[in-house]
């Protein structure tokens, strides 16, 4: 009986400790360097372009022909490994955001395949298109951070290169009151 009274008394004075998920901590840290509305807008444009261009550049790296893949040889490449590792990392942070990022990367895959078809039909090389997008998008990022007056988050920790894309997604989830 005395034990129960002691437990009740301790329960009343014990502060409620809210444990935050690592993904929320990362979003808060990332947000510290992304307060200016112009910088945020630039990120909405440039972060997806950077992800797409990196994806296309990885796709462009020659991959060994694996006979057992048959007709799927053109779809299994270095970008496939990047997708797998990235989605796994996102899954550990937030399964829901990882599913959405997987869909985004599949859409990027479709566009990359269309660019390779264009290349085959005499268009510019995939790696060249992606390199140009990459450079322009990074210039935009650095302009945004110059406006912000703060260094990009990834300069202090490289994991923020991966946090940026899901940081943008989390705003969409918040707008619709979806849990992530």
Q: Domain limits at 92?
A: 43-64+87-180
The sign one gets for the Cα dihedral 108, 113, 117, 120 is positive
Quick check: is 138 in a domain? Answer: yes
Question: Residue 11 and residue 13: Cα distance in Å, rounded?
Answer: 6
Quick check: is 74 in a domain? Answer: no
Quick check: is 16 in a domain? Answer: no
According to the model, what pLDDT value does residue 3 have? 58
Domain count along the chain: 1
- Predicted confidence band of residue 65 (pLDDT cuts 50, 70, 90): confident
Retrieve residue 173's tokens. 């989830």
- Other CB atoms closer than 10 Å to residue 82's CB: what's the count? 16
Measured between its terminal Cα atoms, the distance across the chain in Å is: 43
Contact (CB, 8 A) for 141 and 152: yes
Quick check: is 6 in a domain? Answer: no
According to the model, what pLDDT value does residue 86 have? 96
Quick check: is 53 in a domain? Answer: yes
Quick check: is 3 in a domain? Answer: no
- 128-159: b (≥16 Cβ within 10 Å) or e: ebbeebbeebeebbeebbeebebebbbeeeee
103-118 pLDDT tens trace:
999 999 999 999 999 9
93-149 pLDDT tens trace:
999 999 999 999 999 999 999 999 999 999 999 999 999 999 999 999 999 999 999
The yes-or-no verdict on residue 1 having pLDDT over 70 is no
26-58 pLDDT tens trace:
999 999 889 999 999 999 999 999 999 999 999
Quick check: is 29 in a domain? Answer: no
Quick check: is 26 in a domain? Answer: no
């Amino acid at each position: 009986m005395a034990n129960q009274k002691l437990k009740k008394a301790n329960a009343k004075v014990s502060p409620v400790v809210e444990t935050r998920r690592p993904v929320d901590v990362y979003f808060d840290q990332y947000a510290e360097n992304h307060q200016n509305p112009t910088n945020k807008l630039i990120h909405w444009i440039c972060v997806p372009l950077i992800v797409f261009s990196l994806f296309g550049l990885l796709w462009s790296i020659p991959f060994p022909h694996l006979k057992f893949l048959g007709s799927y040889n053109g779809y299994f490449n270095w970008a496939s490994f990047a997708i797998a590792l990235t989605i796994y990392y996102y899954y550990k942070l937030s399964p829901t955001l990882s599913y959405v990022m997987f869909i985004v990367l599949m859409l990027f895959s479709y566009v990359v395949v269309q660019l390779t078809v264009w290349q085959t039909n005499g268009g510019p090389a995939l790696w060249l298109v992606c390199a140009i997008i990459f450079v322009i998008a990074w210039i935009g990022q650095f302009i945004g951070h110059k406006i912000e007056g703060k260094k990009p988050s990834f300069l202090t920790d490289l994991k923020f290169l991966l946090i940026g894309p899901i940081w943008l997604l989390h705003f969409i989830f918040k707008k619709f009151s979806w849990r992530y």
